[in-house]
Amino acid sequence: MKPQLPPLSLIWFSIIGVFVIALDQATKLAVDSWLVDRPPVVIVPGFFQLVFRTNTGAAFSAFREHPSVLTIFASCIVVFIFVWSIRLREPEQALRWPLGLILGGACGNLIDRVRLGHVVDFLDAYWSDHHFPTFNVADSSIFIGMCLMIWLSFTMPETHEDAESEVADAAKSGGESSNADIQKESGEKKSAARSQARSSS
């Protein structure tokens, strides 16, 4: 008996996750060797630049006062996403694409927390003197994955339709069984009536 191959969506889930982790870590290593102790590198004047920052908080510098709690929480999220993706049913398998992005981003930042004690950020979007919280490839991947999850929640076929069809089939089967029982009971009554008529005669 040949071993059963995993679903194609699960393979892509793994590829996307590994790709995001590799890209995130590669860019952070490049930034660490190139931007430390250097002025920002302007990419789009007045809007976007590269700058070296460290962050002990979550995505986009949130909750930076509790790094150990965030490390534990991030580990739980990684495990939860992995298990959730494996247990997805057939109609929900498209969710593995954005889940791969989210898992890869979560793992990328988790590697930083375990290895460095902080997360390396270097993407700085701003307008005039107003700067958006500095972020990285992992944060971007998580954000894109969440947006795709929301979009798919509105565009995926409704899974409850399958449940409704199963209920309808069960009701139909139950109705057919009930009809069969009624016919059987009616036949037994007719047979009993004939037997009683014969014995009377």
140 and 168 fall within a common domain = no
Residues 141 and 169 in one domain: no
Mean pLDDT calculated for residue range 172-177? 54
76 assigned to some structural domain: yes
Contacts of 99 (CB under 8 A, 6+ apart): 13, 81, 84, 85, 145, 149
Question: Has residue 34 been placed in a domain?
Answer: yes
- Which of 121, 124, 129, 169 is catalytic? The answer is 121
At 128, is the pLDDT very low, low, confident or very high (cuts 50, 70, 90)?
confident
Encoded tokens for 16: 């996307």
Given a contact cutoff of 8 angstroms between Cβ atoms, the answer to whether 53 and 122 are in contact is: yes
Q: Is residue 109 a part of any domain in this protein?
A: yes
- Are 87 and 60 contained in the same domain? yes
- For residue 27, pLDDT beyond 90: yes
Mean pLDDT of 52-74: 73
Tell me, yes or no, if 139 is annotated catalytic: yes
pLDDT at 50 over 70: yes
Give the residue, 131 or 164, on which the prediction is more confident.
131
Is the pLDDT at 100 greater than 90? The verdict is yes
Indicate which residue of 24, 112, 124, 139 is catalytic: 139
Kindly tell me if the per-residue pLDDT of 45 is higher than 60. yes
Q: What pLDDT score was predicted for residue 160?
A: 46
Tell me if residue 121 is catalytic.
yes
Specify the pLDDT at position 180.
54
Least confident of 15-19, 23-27, 53-57, 113-117: 53-57
Residue 129: domain span: 8-157
Q: Residue 198: inside a domain, yes or no?
A: yes
Q: What pTM value is reported for the model?
A: 0.71
Considering its fold, how many domains does the chain have in total?
Answer: 2
| pLDDT digit string, tens, across residues 184-197 | 665 666 566 566 65
Q: What integer is the mean pLDDT of 114-121?
A: 91
- 95/193 same-domain check: no
- In this structure, the answer to whether residues 77 and 130 fall within a common structural domain is yes
Question: What is the rounded average pLDDT of the residues 8-15?
Answer: 89
Mean pLDDT estimate for the chain? 81
Across the range 111-136, mean pLDDT stands at 91
Claim to verify: residue 104 and residue 195 sit in the same structural domain: no
Q: What is the mean pLDDT of residues 33-44?
A: 91
Same structural domain for residues 191 and 95? no
| The pLDDT of residue 102 | 96
Based on the domain organization, do 63 and 88 belong to the same domain?
A: yes
Q: In 10 A of CB 67, how many CB atoms? A: 16
Q: Are residues 48 and 76 in the same domain?
A: yes
Q: How confident is the model at residue 68, as a pLDDT?
A: 77
The two three-digit tokens of residue 49, written as one number: 């630049």
One domain, residues 58 and 114: yes
Are residues 200 and 136 located together in one domain of the fold? Answer: no
Do 25 and 96 fall into the same domain?
A: yes
